[in-house]
Every structure is written in structure tokens, then in C-alpha cells.
Amino acid sequence: MNMALVGDIGGTNARFALWNNDRIESVQTLAAADFPTPEQAVIHYLSTLGLAPDSLSDVCLACAGPVSGEDFRFTNNHWHLNRTTFRQALQLDNMLLINDFTAMALGMTRLREDERIQICPGEPESDSPSLVIGPGTGLGVSTLLPQGNEQWKVLPGEGGHVDLPIGSLREAALWQQLFGELGHVRAEDILSGSGLMRLYRSICALDNHAPNLTTPAEVSTAALAGDPIAEEVLQLFCVWLGRVAGNNVLTLGARGGVYIVGGVIPRFAAFFQTSGFASSLSSKGCMSGYLKGVPVWLVTASYPGLEGAGVALQQMLEPA
């Protein structure tokens, strides 16, 4: 496969790289707000490398949101992408548009040992699915399926929108508080950056504390400094993530392992390692034994979405 372009586009930033000789290079992050269209962002990126808009024939873009049809409208920025218009603007032979968590899942096939921290020990079953789950702007969930011959298939879904599971009386009281605010309470309503703040405010309201923290970073910093309210917030966040991840392992038979991704958990990785995540993951009553031995890793790689976009493009153009 010739040199290609890969992109990982979220609500705020667009990351671009060249896919060359089975690896990414020349990574740049651009603010979506600085460009009226994704085509112009790509043309700007190429120009910084001294490349003309028509210098590449193949592109894969990983985009946040459901991907189907001719048109794609980005959920959290002003960009709109029409496949035909985009291909014509860059004179492309091949354009692949995939969900951002599909790319994230494929990126797990490229991890080095120093790009992940083991949270739960175990041996992955090589022919079983793996779960990829990560709190960020929302809660992303995907399933990675081995196909043999170093080929992979991803089952995208909307697992972040499942109902928030309750496992204790304290959680039930908090759920009632959240239900009064939201009505339907989804996992993503807690397991995301904004969800961390919602959980903090709910605990303060339930226990009659005045909330004095205003950002997720402030909550995590206060928790690590020993603030008891913030510490409970972070602990419950980890416990709920474990419970949701464990439910997914049971549903999918994901004995290939669990990958924790996204930008939230790495900010408090040491806390996460000793939190209630592992126990809540495996506390499934009569099925608790099924979760024993399923390995869990916290992913610390810098650009797994870009890596995954490259893998997706390569699998399309060079099938086994």
C-alpha cells in the first residue's frame, strides 16, 4: 500500500498523520474551529508537509458518531462531510470513513507492552472477543474480534448508553438523585468527563455539602490530595466503570481481555489501580468465576485511534 492519510476527528480536535510502511508519522493536531471544512483542514495539514492536495490516493478518517450513508455530520463541531465532495477535493481513489471507537478498537492490535498497564492479571483467550471501553467526552464501547491471519473485525455499538447498573444501597440513593435530574440514567451520564462532575454534584446534594469544585480536573486533583468527597466520587466512578465493563464481558464473552481507553482514567492511573474497579468488574454473583482470569489493561498509547485508522485502511486495501 502506498503512503496514505489517516485522521481521528473528535468534537474539538482533528488529529492527522501519514500511514507509511505500516506505521504512523508526522502526527499533527488541529483545532476544528480553525477550519470551515474537514477538506480544508486536510489540505492545510498536507501543505505543512510540503504535499499537494492530490499527493495521496487513500484516506481513512475515524469520526465520532454513527457512520453510514453519503453524508456525515459531526456531533460536536460545525463540520459536515460529504463523501463525494471530499474525494473530489483531494482527488482520492479510496476513502474509508469509520466510527472513532472502531478505530480505537483496531488500535489495540498495535499496542506495545510499554503502552499499557495491567490492572487485572490473566491470560487472554486468543480466539475470543476483547472489550474496548473508555470514558472521555462520552463513554465509548466496542468489541474486537480476531478473524485469523492477523485480520480483525470490530463490532461498533452504543454500549455507553446502557442503563447505569446499581450494586449497593449508596449507589441506589445516588441513582434516585440522578433520576430526579435526568429521568433515564445511562452509564455515560456518569462515566464521562461531564459525568464525573454530575456525580460530584449528586453526592454533594445527597449529603448536603456545598459543591466548591467546578471541573473534572479539580475533582481528580482534590481526590488525590485526600479530599473525602472528591475521593468518594473518584472511587464510585471506578466502581461503576468496573460494573459496566463486567456486564459487557458477560454479554460478549469477552475473554480476550478488556482495554480501558480514553482520556479520563490515565489522569489518575495509580488511584485506578488500587480502586474498587477490579472487584466490581468480577462481582457477578453466581457468574463471578467467569470473570476471574480475564485480563484488563489501562491503555496509555498516544495515538491509538490513528493507528487503528491505518489498520482499517490496510485491511481494506490489502485483505488477507
Q: Are 263 and 301 in contact (CB under 8 A)?
A: no
Is 7 marked as binding a ligand?
A: yes
Place of cell 446499581: 166
Mean pLDDT over each residue of the chain, to the nearest integer? 93
- How many whole angstroms separate alpha carbon 14 and alpha carbon 139? 19
The answer to the question of whether 119 is labelled as a binding residue is no
- CATH 3.30.70.380 is held by the domain 112-300: no
Is 289 marked as a binding-site residue? no
**Which residues are bridge partners to 19 per DSSP?**
4, 24
Cα angle, residue 39 at apex, residues 264 and 81 outer, rounded to 5°:
70
Residue 8 annotated as part of some ligand binding site = yes
Q: Domain spans of the chain? A: 4-105+303-317, 112-300
Q: Pairing between strand 58-63 and 94-99?
A: parallel
Q: Residue 111 is which amino acid?
A: L
Asked whether 7 and 16 are in contact (CB, 8 A), the reply is: yes
Those residues with Cβ within 8 angstroms of residue 265's Cβ, 6 or more apart along the chain or in another chain: 134, 135, 241, 272, 298
- The confidence score (pLDDT) of residue 274 equals 96
Q: Is residue 183 pLDDT above 80, yes or no? A: yes
The predicted-structure confidence for 97-118, as pLDDT tens digits, reads as follows: 998 899 999 999 999 999 999 9
In the numeric block, the cell 454473583 is attached to 285
> Architecture of 4-105+303-317 per CATH?
2-Layer Sandwich (3.30)
Q: For 120-173, how does the pLDDT look when each residue is reduced to its tens digit (9 = 90+)?
A: 999 999 899 999 999 988 899 999 999 988 889 999 888 899 999 999 999 999
Supply angle C-alpha 239, 191, 243, rounded to 5.
Answer: 35
Dump pLDDT digits (tens) for 144-156: 999 988 889 999 8
Annotated binding-site residue? 9: yes
What does the pLDDT read at residue 1?
A: 63
